[in-house]
Structure formats: C-alpha cells, structure tokens
Amino acid sequence: MPGAFPAAPPTLSGDLETISRFLQSPTQLRRRLRSYVDLRFVADQVLTARYRSTGGAVLYEMSEPFVSDRTVEAVGAGSEYPYANLPTGTGAIAAVQKWGQKVILTDEEIERNIYAGAAVDRNLKKVVNGIIKQVDGIAFSAIASAISGAGFASAATATWSSATPKILLDILTAKAVIVGLNLGYTPDTVVMNDTRYALMMQDTVITNAWRRETTDNPVYTGQILQKVAGLNIVVTPNMPTASEVYVLDSTQLGGMADEMDAAPGYATADLAVQIKSIRRDSSDSWDLQGRRKTVPIVQEPGAACRITGT
C-alpha cells in the first residue's frame, strides 16, 4: 500500500509535516501495521491459548489429568459413594521476555521518496518481521523441546522426496499416535516448512484426490486451501528441524503468555505486537521501535507428534 497514506494533494507543500503527523499517531501506526500480519506469523496459530501476565512470569500446569485418581466402583443401595481425588498437572513457571528492536528513519528518506509512505512501510515491515521471526523461533524451540522424546515421534514411511512417498499415510499415522493416547486430543493442524509443503502439493496420492472442476484447485492457486485429513496446513520457515513435520491439536498444545501495559505512545496491533515512533530532533529523524513481551507455553506435549525423516 505504498502511497495510500498519507494522501497529500499535489498542491500541498508540507509533505514532511503530513508524514510527521502520521508518525506521531499511534492509531495510524496501528492501521499501517495491520498490513503486515500474514500467515507466516504462525506461533499464535499453533499455540492458540491466551494468557496474561502482570508480574513478569506466568504459572501454569502441564498435562493436567482429565480423570480422577480412583477407579469408579459399583455402589450398593444405601451405601456411600467413594471419594476420589482430582489430581493436578505438574506446575511450571515461564518468565516473560521483552523482544524488540528499533530502526532509524530520517526526514530526508521520507521526503525524498516519490511515495513518502513507502519509506514508512518499508521500515515498519522490517521491524515487525524481525519480531515475527524471533517470536516464532522461540515458540517452535519450546515446542521442539517439549516433544523431543521418542513417545512424541512417528517415522515417515519414506522420505517425501523419494519416488514412492506416502505423505498422506505419514500424516494419518502421526494423527493416530495423538488420538491413540485417549486423552481427549483432536489433531487439527499440520505444520511444515516450505520445502515439505511443495513436496506435499505435488504428491500424486493427494493431488488425485483434489476436486478437479473448480478454480480453487491448488494447481491453479498455488495454495492448498482445503484441509488434508481434517488438518489445517500451516507453513513456516522456522521449523527447528527441516526434515520434521508436526501434527498437533492447536486448541490443547499450549499458548502465548503476553504481558500488556499502558506505556505511552505504543500502538498495539494484531498478535500483541507493539510499535512506537520517537522523534529525534537532534538528528532530524525518527526511531521506529517495536516489541512484544511474551513467552510461549506448552501445556499438553501429548497433543503433538513429530513426523521424522521426511
């Protein structure tokens, strides 16, 4: 959207003043920032629970049992019902970290750009993308650490780039591992990198099952819009191990714990990213500063399974 804002008529001579009013407005910054939220910010799609922290940390329970600790018994007529305890999960604490950076934007860069808004666009995008990459990286590192054990893995039948891959079977097998725990998990998401996504798109077993007489077929759109085996497809460049694919229940796996405050001048965009502009009169420039105060939490490791050796 370069040039869409500010909408300064050609007759106005104060273009720089117009840009300055924009930079000083958290509301306008927020509108600008919304343009850069895309599906590659996947931490919040995989860890969908939301927590709030005001003390710099969050206390949570891991793998909370969903049944009592006593077997249900037959109760005779007139007899007391036996008491059972409701066990809790393992307690854990996660400390919130503030992830942020800033860039400098000079008055000259704003004023001398043919579309002055393009300079703001470009710098905001770099700030936000840096935060996106960092938060996604730490989120997937947390997930990888939580599901690193052998019980959370399913080996691929063959590498997905081989002559006879069984991609759909591999996904269904990983799904069966999660459901087979009988803990109430319902896998709804499969996560992979761009290369695995490309290999899945050209797999003949899957492509032969697409609806053919429609223009939203992935052959035309370049994207798999349909679900595969009942799973939403999420693509990210931040997979900890390129050869692994994750199948998971995004409603149970965990969430992001964000600490929000009322610091002056910050505009809060989607997904808890905050941006602020700071005027530097001594150097005729602006600091565009972005941050997210958050920590990823994995509450139910059993809700995910790694497909290895893809």
Residue 75 in domain: no
> CA-CA distances (angstroms) from residue 127 to 24, 25, 132, 133?
17, 17, 9, 10
- At 1 the pLDDT is 39
Q: Sign of the C-alpha dihedral, residues 26, 30, 33, 37? A: positive
Alpha-carbon gap, residue 48 to 13, rounded angstroms: 48
pLDDT of residue 172: 95
* Total of domains in the chain: 1
User: Within a domain: residue 74?
Assistant: no
Q: What is the pLDDT of residue 86?
A: 79
The torsion region of residue 178 among left (phi > 0), alpha (psi -120 to 50) and beta comes to alpha
Helices within 7-154 (DSSP H only): 15-23, 26-34, 43-46, 107-112, 116-146
The pLDDT score that the predictor gives to residue 180 is 92
- pLDDT for position 2: 41
In a domain, 126, yes or no: yes
Q: What CATH number is associated with residue 222?
A: 3.90.1690
Dihedral of alpha carbons 68, 71, 72, 78, sign: negative
For residues 304 and 240, is the Cβ–Cβ distance under 8 A?
A: no
Q: What is the pTM of this model?
A: 0.77
Residue 199 lies in a domain: yes
User: Which domain, by its residues, includes 125?
Assistant: 15-67+80-308
**Residues found in the chain:** 310
Q: Does residue 265 fall inside a structural domain?
A: yes
pLDDT, residue 221, reads: 61
User: What separation in angstroms does the CA of 224 have from each of 199, 210, 255?
Assistant: 12, 10, 25
For residue 210, is it within any domain? yes
Residue numbers in the chain where pLDDT is lower than 50 = 1-11, 17
State the pLDDT at residue 269.
67
Assigned domain for 9 exists: no
- Residue pair 36/270 in contact by the 8 Å Cβ criterion: no
Q: Is residue 73 part of a domain?
A: no
Q: Is the dihedral of CA 266, 268, 273, 279 positive or negative?
A: negative
**Torsion of Cα atoms, 144 then 148 then 152 then 157, to 10°:** 90
